Structures are given as structure tokens and as C-alpha cells.
Structure 1
Amino acid sequence: MAAAYLTHHQKVLRLYKKSLRHIESWCIFRDKYRFYACLLRARFDENKHEKDMMKATMMLKAGEEEFWANQHPQPYLFPDSPGGTSYERYECYKVSDKVKCTYQYFYHLEEKEKKKKLLWSFLFIVQNFGRKTLPYINGTRFSLVHLGCCTFTSHYFKEAMNPKCFCTRAE
């Protein structure tokens, strides 16, 4: 099966993105990066509506040559991207969809535990900052019932992990 050729538009977009990534490698500070990114965007926008394909192709070729001449010698690579330090490092720990379908009950419990941990972290914030009502969590608004019965001290896991004691659904 033969691969399709890239359109002119796709080539220009890829050149723009590569250029932005290399500017990011050259400029450490965010404000300086933003300035040069705006200048680059202005240069691309000048010729956005070019109708003559021969001229547009020549400009693209000149842009690629300029990119090649000015590219960073050691560009920043994200750790999880190809070529990064952690690329495919944790593939063996990822669970396939087939296994998730087989053990639906287990993964359902895991999701419930994640929601519970999120709720307890909100409760901790509420108790420390004095709010009476929690934000919405998955479409449900929670409120505090007994502010004084549970404290987030050394007995946190013993007392606060009892949902009947600490919070109920607001009606």
C-alpha cells in the first residue's frame, strides 16, 4: 500500500510546528519565546493567501532551507516522545482493553476509589479553608454534615475514611 503524499498545506503546517519547537529550544524564557513565536506567525501569515502554487512552493522550499540553517543543534525532546528518555518505558504496565473487559468489576471499584480519594482531598481543602459546600463532582454536589466529628490529624484514615460519618449528598 502506497502512502499518500502530503499536501502543500500540511507541509506548511509541519514546517511551522517544527519551527516553533526549535524556537522553544533556543529560548528558555517564556516571554522571549512568545515574542519570537509571534514574529514567526506574522511571517507565515504574510503569505497565507498566496494563489500561485509555484511561488508558494518556492517559499516553502526557502523556509525549509532557513529552518535547516537555523535549527537547534540539540532540540528539546519530551521524555515520552520518540527519542525521549522515557519513550515506551512503561508500556509493560499499561492494561489492555481486553483485560479491562474481562475484569470489569475490579476496574469499576478502582474508579470508585479514585472518586473517593478526590472527594477526600476536597474535604481536606474545605475543612482547612472553611467552605460549607464542595464543588460538583461528576454532576453531584456534596455538602458537609459533621464538621467537628472528623479531623485530619493522625487519625485521618481511621475517622475520615468513614463516608457515613463525614459527608452526604446534598439534596
Structure 2
Amino acid sequence: MTEDDDATREVRWLDDDEQRAWRAILRGTHLVTLAMEEALAPHGVSLGEYELLSMVAEAPDRRRRMAELADLVVQSRSRVSHTASRLERRGWVRRLPTADDRRGVVLSLTDEGYAVVRRLAPVHVASVRAALLDHLDRDHLLAHGEQMRRVVRANRASEDQAGDAA
């Protein structure tokens, strides 16, 4: 018996119902993401850019630490930095040193960037409704949201524990 055989035996394989559910979740997630991307594309903005802009727009004083943004949008700090650079070149955000420790960086939304978010928010919301919300009743939507919050908490706890062990 090989090492691969031992690893295969220890796997908790998905049963048929779990496999169907998992594939539906995966495909559905991809299709919703694609619909949101396609809605924003004619405006020259990617979903990642819009998400970053909107997270900053919702923050007090339209400013948010880059590290916090990376956690919120579930992207690496490097990816968030690259996205911020593109937005900065367009004049929609500015990077500023944090006031409290001067080591961190805050992303600040400019007035022009805020105008972009206000213009694109209805486009984004319409795509979310058309791709997802219009196909679920409110109770199912809220239950799905709660289930996904459980997934986020479980995975964030794993990341936090991994960070403590390092």
C-alpha cells in the first residue's frame, strides 16, 4: 500500500447530495460574480475595484486602513495594493499614512471617487438583484447569508489560529 492509498482512505468524500450541493454553490457563485463583473465592465470598472471603492465609501470619513480592506474583500494585501494603485492613477483614492502609528496606510476616497461609487451603486445593486436576490425569497436569502457568515467565521478563525502558530 502506498502513501497515496493511505491519504485517499482518510478523505471524507462527498456523497451524491453533498456533491450536487457543492457544485451548485460553486457554479452559482461564479455566475453571480460574472453577472456583477459584466454589469460594471461598460463603465470601465472591475468588481474588485468597485468593491474596494464601496468599502472605503462606507467607512467613517471615507477612509479605511489597507490591511482592513484586504480582510474585508478577502484579497491579499498585495492585490489590494495593486488595485489601489489603479484607483489612485484615476484620481479616485489617495494613500495616506495612518494618523495613529504612521506605519500603516489608509486609503482615502476622493470626491471624484465618491461620485463614481454613487454613479455605479445602482448598476451594482441591479446586477446583484438580477443575478441572485430576485431568485430567492427573503427568508432563503437571509438564511443563506447566515450560513455564509458561519463559513466566514470558521475560516477566519482557522486563519487566526494559523497566524498564532507561526
What's the TM-score once normalised by structure 2's chain length?
0.24
**Which protein has the larger Cα radius of gyration, Structure 1 or Structure 2?**
1
Task: Write 1 or 2 for the structure with the bigger share of helix.
Answer: 2
Larger relative contact order, structure 1 or 2 (CA cutoff 8 Å, min sep 6): 2
